[in-house]
């Protein structure tokens, strides 16, 4: 196996958002950097984020509030976030000519709505700082000795460096090259790996009637999870019915919890189609509306989307051809029960093929939170999805990549 003649200070493995940020930052500090990517092009997964629009970050500029959204493990990010958080990420892109905008829910996008424009900024950043790119090169392992990496082994050749940054991503969207190989390399070098699970993923339900609602998107609804009749979690916002179950932002955000709960037993989802109205308010509205001499089928679109209205009528056992002024109290109560708690049973998560991110990864206790340096291998750093940290939809996960990538690039760059 031939070694490259060039000498590098830092070798970055993985050309996703974290890898590009890490490589660029290390090179900016004067390090000679090589970026190794097995795909022919860098940023393959970045191009499909945000439905091709690339949700760059989240407009939550309070670091403590940001990490709260990441759950118990979020504290790990505080140090990196304080150096390169959402404000710094926006400044980074804006200064390089990419105009940004803030949309509903604090989502930050490029004004152009093109993920390719985000990728171009990163590629220019690498070029300006003279990062050597090695696309189409597959890593097969590492040569390790005396607590240090000596070189990275490729299918064709071997590269030596003084520091190595592992940014190989998780297992989500395997079509983009995310195989989870980085977990195995980290494990072989002595790191503990928290079992990878698909996160931010659509869910499959047991009920077949959802197929009739395929493509229906609902805004301003709330979904609550129950197990053994106990409330477990809930979200308010937008969701989507699919041919297999449910998707959309609030479902994706709940999917990690659903996966955890399914391991313990049955999970019930209740959709509140009118969360702005409590039961009493909804009943008063229906009583007022039902004074009219109107067929129920003609009234339903005022309450719910057509497909959903027909379903609600069926579940409430109310004849569509009945006049609303003849609907009795018991029928009205059944309708309210459906509107305030449309019930579904979770069958499972769709899996890594459609998961936006991976939950799990390299144990955080084994990584220095300021530099992203391994506490086990002296010249190894981590960044991005490979570490055991993930967040909800809305730009949180890309910000994790920018923050950890910058910290790892800084840490590795200054270590050499």
Q: DSSP letter string over 279-295?
A: HHHHHHHHHHHTTS--B
Residues 125-165 have pLDDT tens digits of 999 999 999 999 999 999 999 999 999 999 989 999 999 99
**Residue 6, helix vs strand vs coil:** coil
Strand 158-166 versus strand 148-154 pairing type: antiparallel
Q: What is the dihedral of CA 177, 179, 182, 185, to 10 degrees?
A: -130
* 72 vs 84: CA distance, rounded Å: 21
* pLDDT at residue 2 in the model: 54
Kind plus residue range of the DSSP H or E element containing 252 = helix 249-262
* pLDDT at residue 1 in the model: 46
* 282 vs 288: CA distance, rounded Å: 10
* 41 vs 292: CA distance, rounded Å: 63
Question: Where do we find the tokens 């479902």?
Answer: 251
**Residue 161, helix vs strand vs coil:** strand
* 341 vs 101: CA distance, rounded Å: 36
Please, what are the domains in the chain?
8-197+359-415 (3.50.50.60), 202-350 (1.10.8.50)
Kind plus residue range of the DSSP H or E element containing 361 = strand 357-362
Question: Where do we find the tokens 């390299």?
Answer: 362
Tokens linked to 339 = 């509107």
* pLDDT at residue 5 in the model: 55
Q: List the chain residues with pLDDT less than 70.
A: 1-5
* 73 vs 273: CA distance, rounded Å: 32
* pLDDT at residue 4 in the model: 54
pTM of the predicted model, to two decimals?
Answer: 0.89
DSSP E strands in 14-111: the ranges are: 33-37, 57-58, 100-103, 107-110
């Amino acid at each position: 196996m031939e070694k490259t003649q060039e000498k590098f200070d830092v070798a970055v493995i993985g050309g996703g958002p974290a890898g590009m940020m890490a490589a660029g930052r290390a090179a900016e500090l004067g390090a000679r950097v090589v970026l190794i990517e097995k795909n022919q092009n860098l940023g393959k997964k970045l191009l499909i984020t945000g439905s091709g629009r690339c949700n760059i970050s989240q407009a939550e500029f309070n670091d403590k509030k940001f990490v709260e959204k990441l759950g118990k493990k979020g504290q790990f990010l505080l140090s990196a976030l304080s150096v390169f958080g959402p404000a710094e990420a926006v400044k980074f892109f804006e200064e390089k000519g990419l105009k940004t905008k803030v949309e509903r829910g604090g989502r930050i996008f490029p004004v152009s709505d093109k993920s390719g424009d985000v990728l171009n900024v990163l590629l220019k950043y690498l070029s300006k700082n003279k990062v050597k790119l090695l696309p189409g090169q597959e890593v097969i392992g590492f040569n390790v000795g005396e607590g240090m990496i000596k070189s990275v082994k490729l299918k064709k050749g071997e590269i030596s460096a003084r520091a190595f940054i592992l940014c190989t991503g998780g297992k989500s969207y395997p079509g983009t090259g995310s195989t989870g190989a980085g977990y195995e390399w980290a494990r072989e070098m002595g790191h503990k790996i928290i079992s990878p699970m698909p996160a931010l993923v659509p869910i499959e339900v047991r009920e077949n009637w959802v197929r009739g609602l395929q493509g229906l998107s609902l805004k301003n609804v709330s979904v609550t999870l129950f197990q053994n009749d106990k409330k477990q979690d809930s979200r308010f916002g937008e969701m989507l019915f699919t041919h297999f179950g449910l998707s959309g932002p609030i479902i994706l955000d709940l999917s990690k919890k659903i996966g955890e709960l399914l391991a313990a037993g049955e999970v019930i989802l209740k959709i509140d189609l009118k969360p702005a109205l409590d039961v009493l308010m909804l009943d008063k509205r229906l009583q007022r509306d039902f004074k009219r001499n109107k067929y129920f089928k003609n009234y339903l679109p005022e309450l719910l989307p057509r497909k959903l209205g027909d379903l609600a009528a069926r579940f409430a056992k109310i004849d569509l051809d009945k006049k609303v002024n003849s609907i009795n109290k018991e029928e009205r109560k059944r309708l309210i029960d459906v509107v305030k708690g449309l019930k579904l049973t979770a069958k499972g998560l769709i899996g890594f093929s459609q998961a936006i991110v991976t939950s799990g990864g390299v144990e955080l206790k084994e990584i220095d939170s300021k530099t992203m340096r391994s506490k086990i291998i002296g010249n190894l750093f981590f960044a991005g999805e490979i570490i055991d940290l993930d967040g909800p939809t809305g730009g949180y996960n890309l910000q994790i990549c920018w923050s950890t990538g910058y910290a790892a690039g800084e840490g590795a760059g200054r270590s050499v």
